[in-house]
Homo-oligomer: A and B are copies of this chain.
Amino acid sequence: MPEVDSMSSGGRDERHLTKVFKALSDNTRQEILRLLESHQRTVGEIVGNFNLSQPTISRHLSVLKEADLVIDQRQGQNVIYRLNDEALSTSMREFFGQFRSCQESLR
């Protein structure tokens, strides 16, 4: 038996794809990505769309940033976040490539 378990769950050495899915496995963070899909926004603008405190949103943003799904950029006293389109589609393709049924969905 192969022992495919090169790095199992606990091991805090984590595949990038897993980090991406962790980032996506929260309603709020998914919502944030959808907001940023239309156009970039400041942290304050994002906060305004939720019933959550600013620090909470800030931490969600840092999770998304860790997963490379968003890009931040300081502009004056604001910080502007935008979607990292390339990374998102790259991750998607990387995952899809592993499953026949998903490969069929790629062009």
Contact = CB atoms under 8 A, between A and B. Distances in A.
Interface of A: 1-5, 7-9, 11, 14-15, 17-18, 21-22, 24-28, 30-31, 33-35, 37, 48-52, 83, 85-86, 88-89, 92-93, 95-96, 98-102, 104-107
28 contacts: A4-B31, A4-B35, A5-B31, A8-B27, A8-B31, A8-B50, A8-B51, A9-B52, A15-B27, A15-B30, A18-B25, A21-B21, A21-B24, A21-B30, A22-B25, A24-B95, A30-B95, A37-B99, A37-B100, A83-B101, A85-B100, A89-B104, A89-B105, A92-B95, A92-B96, A92-B102, A92-B105, A105-B107
- Counted per complex, copies of this chain come to 2
Contacts of A102: 88-89, 92
A11 B51 CA distance: 12
A50 B5 contact: yes
A52 to B, nearest CB: 6
Contacts of A35: 4
Contact of A83 (B2, B17, B99): B99
